[in-house]
Amino acid sequence: MRFMKMLKNERILRFLGSNVIVFLLLTSVAFGQDTKETKEETGFILDKIICKIDNYIVLKSELEAAYQSYITDGNPGSEQAKCGLLNRLIMNKLMVAKAEIDSILVTDAEVDQNTTQRMAVILQNYGNSAEELERQYGKTMDQIKFELRDQIREQLLANEMTRKITKDMDITPSEVKKFFNKIPKDSLPYYSADVEIGQIVKVASVSSQQKEEAKARLEELRTRILNGENFNELAKKYSEDPSAQHNGGEMGYVGRGAMVPEFEATAFKLRKGEISHPFESQFGFHIMQLIDRRGNEYNSRHILINATPSTEDVARATKFIDSLRHKIIKDSIKFEQAAKLFSDDTETKGRSGYFTDPDGGMRVALNTIDPAVYLAIDTMKIGHISPSLPYRTDKQKDAVRILYFKAKIDPHQANLTDDWHRIQSAALAEKKDKAINKWFLKARQDVFINIDPSYNYCKILE
């Protein structure tokens, strides 16, 4: 049962470290930071402070939102899971309080960049409609972003404190075996089929002619704006940045480091109200107008045009990947070496081309892989390499790729041979969890903690 408990703890840790922050942030925006009664369409909901940690608090709404989102994410619900979430929320607040005591800092640039990213995720949940988001929460985008920024700062401080506590912590093979051998045989998890799959991606290079055409379109739009047409309306009509549909190309105030270097460099070169000539970034070509600048923060609007590869550009990429595939099949070069040298996918390139699970293991559950990959390998034999396949990257670039179906592991009960990485990850997580709990027992003496008696059953301070 210990291993299963460890897996539950891992799910809670991973959940709180990723998508749940969006729900927690929106909850704090909706309810505010005070104990109060809030009326919604469904009736009255009483929100209250359930824990105080020095100057920081945990609201009941935060815990309930985290718990509901945890269940929605496919995790089993239980009072134990809710207590685990509350424990982690309290520990995060304690880490922030201790970070202040220990003078641990995060930069404004980090906070701004993460706030921008979180806002993009939140907007996606509302169909990229700023109007709908503002209507739901009764606040402007600037007000929501301002309140989110403080919560983001807390999360980053907690992350820094966690890294400090578990710094350089590793686990030996003998510790992994000892951890596994303590698990009762009837408690070993049963895993579905796993696969080992690699890819090599070649992005179609855009010809200079295509780039010049994109810049010419932007120069034409710039001229129209200078002649009196509305920048925002043209952005909504022509910009290939999806957010332009709701913000008219306006990016809001951001600090240094929040945008890609080319965008930021242009913003700090412009005078207020000035419109740039076309410039290139990893996303395509832009024109930008500086709306305002205050210190290291600036507000701008832009129009994005992607220079799309021509049919000939895609054909060149296909020819390259076909040639590389032929060399791998003839054993002139190993797949792993070819991926490291030639793949344009940065995420898999550093892992010799292979997809990995959330813990970095090369064996990926078959039911979690991308549907397009699943369909491709469904007709492939183990050890074979697919023909070149059209592919659209995460950055919406036209590309081609080949897939390598290296291995398949049938459904099985956990064992050290097939599941070493999973067991190693769980053993290391337990070791880190013990270190954090040990830190918690010591650190709680340095701060004031008060938990609502209705949560005594969680035994958090025992």
pLDDT of residue 349: 94
Q: Is the pLDDT of residue 448 over 70?
A: yes
Percent of the chain's residues with pLDDT above 90:
48
Residues forming beta bridges with residue 358, ordered by sequence position: none
Please give the class, per CATH, of domain 2-180+417-458: mainly alpha
**Contact in structure between 223 and 367 (CB atoms under 8 Å):** no
Q: For domain 192-206+310-412, give the fold.
A: Chitinase A; domain 3 (3.10.50)
C-alpha span between 249 and 228 (Å, rounded)? 17
Confidence of residue 128 (pLDDT cuts 50, 70, 90): low
454 burial type by CB count under 10 A (0-12 exposed, 13-18 middle, 19+ buried):
exposed
Chain-centroid distance of CA 226 in Å reads 39
The answer to whether residues 325 and 335 touch, using CB atoms and an 8 Å cutoff, is no
**46 confidence band (pLDDT: 50, 70, 90):** low
List all residues 6 or more positions away from 372 whose beta carbon is below 8 Å from its beta carbon.
Answer: none
């996918």: which residue's tokens? 345
The helix (H) or strand (E) run that includes residue 154 is helix 141-165
pLDDT of 20 > 50? The answer is no
| Overall pTM > 0.85 | no
Tell whether the model's pLDDT for residue 101 goes beyond 80.
yes
pLDDT over 70 at 76, yes or no:
yes
Question: Does the pLDDT at position 121 exceed 80?
Answer: no
Question: Cα-flanking dihedrals φ and ψ of residue 254, to 5°?
Answer: -135, 155
Predicted local distance difference test score (pLDDT) of residue 335: 97
Amino acid 27: pLDDT: 47
Write out pLDDT tens, residues 327-337: 999 999 999 99
Using CA atoms, how far apart are residues 118 and 258, in angstroms rounded to an integer?
12
Mean pLDDT confidence for 227-234 = 95
Rounded to whole angstroms, what are the CA distances from 1 to 37, 184, 185, 349, 446? 41, 7, 9, 38, 34
* Domain pair 2-180+417-458 / 208-305, same fold: no
Cα gap 264→298, rounded to integer Å: 9
Name the token pair of 293: 């600048």
**Mean pLDDT, the chain, integer:** 85
Boundaries of every domain in the chain? 2-180+417-458, 192-206+310-412, 208-305
Nearest 10 degrees: Cα torsion 273, 279, 280, 283: 30
CATH architecture of residue range(s) 208-305: Roll (3.10)
Residue pair 316/204 in contact (Cβ under 8 Å)? The answer is yes
Q: Residue 18: is its pLDDT beyond 60?
A: no
What's residue 28's pLDDT?
Answer: 47
Fill in the amino acid letter for 51: C
Is residue 246 within 8 Å of residue 129, measured between CB atoms? Answer: yes
pLDDT digits (tens, 9 = 90+) for 131-155: 777 888 788 877 888 888 888 888 8
